[in-house]
């Protein structure tokens, strides 16, 4: 059985589209897409915290090969991958058809939080969910939009009160190498850096016209954390 050589080398060619779906946040608001990963291995899906990128890196090759020869699974896979690819091919927003000025640039959207999915700890509350929903809706109707926010490399910290009355917290670190995000590179294949000397390594198009770019708050180009953005390194979920 032919296997696709990529980020997920164990994926058989017949279901290689799983990689494309896992690396695009489109899956986060399409239940049928999430079910493709859940049906592979319910325990692995749960243990990955519903993160398809992490799951595909860890699931045994035998499970993927079994799915690639399961007629029922392939039927659902073909339906989802067809819709996914059709959505990616959609160009232009019907609500903007009256705007013909070629100099018009994409919309710039700024938010400190983006509630896209619980496996992506880039939000802490309702405003984050609102921003995330706006991104998803813009993606669905092909609004040309670029969203800028923070990556929060230390993820969440959870607060609790100990028996002695003191507060303590535990960290929930975001593993960016096992998430539906990718580094933003320039034409030379080099990591893009903003003027503040802050690396901008993460970005993912939610579909075709809409892109979310969370800025990394670690100074990875210099190998040190940016001292002026320490307060933006994590989020609190109480």
For 30-54, the pLDDT digits (tens) are 999 999 999 999 999 999 989 999 9
| pLDDT given for residue 38 in this prediction | 96
What are 186's strand-pairing partners?
none
Confidence tier at 227 by pLDDT (50, 70, 90) = very low
Q: Are residues 221 and 127 in the same domain?
A: yes
**Could you say which of 62, 89, 116 is where a domain stops?**
89
Are 234 and 171 a contacting pair, CB within 8 Å?
Answer: yes
Provide the domain count of the chain: 2
Q: Are residues 108 and 224 in the same domain?
A: yes
Q: Are residues 135 and 187 in the same domain?
A: yes
Residue 118 to residue 179: CA distance in whole angstroms: 11
Confidence tier at 228 by pLDDT (50, 70, 90) = very low
The torsion angles phi and psi of 40, rounded to 5 degrees, stand at -60, -50
For the ranges 3-12, 142-151, 177-186, 198-207, the one whose mean pLDDT is highest: 142-151
Which tokens belong to 114? 């983006």
Give the single-character DSSP code of 218: E
pLDDT at 5 over 70: no
- 213 vs 74, 130, 143, 206, 207, CA distance in Å? 33, 17, 16, 10, 13
Domain hosting 83: range is 13-89
Q: Are residues 218 and 129 in the same domain?
A: yes
**Could you say which of 89, 116, 149 is where a domain stops?**
89
Q: Are residues 112 and 222 in the same domain?
A: yes
What pTM, to 2 d.p., does this model score? 0.73
């Amino acid at each position: 059985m032919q296997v696709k050589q990529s980020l997920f080398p164990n994926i058989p060619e017949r279901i290689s589209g799983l990689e494309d779906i896992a690396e695009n946040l489109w899956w986060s608001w399409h239940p049928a897409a999430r079910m493709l990963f859940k049906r592979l291995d319910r325990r692995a899906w749960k243990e990955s915290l519903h993160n398809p990128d992490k799951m595909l890196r860890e699931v045994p090759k035998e499970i993927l090969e079994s799915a690639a020869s399961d007629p029922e699974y392939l039927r659902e896979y073909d339906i989802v991958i067809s819709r996914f690819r059709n959505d990616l091919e959609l160009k232009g927003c019907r609500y903007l058809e009256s705007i013909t000025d070629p100099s018009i640039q994409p919309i710039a959207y700024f938010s400190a939080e983006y509630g896209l999915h619980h496996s992506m700890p880039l939000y802490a509350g309702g405003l984050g969910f609102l921003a995330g929903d706006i991104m998803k809706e813009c993606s669905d109707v092909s609004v040309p939009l670029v969203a800028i926010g923070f990556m929060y490399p230390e993820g969440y910290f959870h607060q609790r009160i100990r028996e002695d009355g003191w507060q303590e917290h535990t960290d929930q670190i975001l593993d960016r190498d096992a998430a539906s995000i990718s580094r933003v590179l320039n034409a030379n294949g080099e990591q893009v850096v903003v003027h503040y000397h802050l690396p901008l390594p993460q970005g993912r198009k939610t579909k075709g016209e809409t892109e979310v770019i969370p800025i990394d708050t670690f100074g990875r180009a210099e190998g040190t954390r940016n001292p002026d953005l320490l307060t933006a390194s994590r989020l609190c979920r109480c």
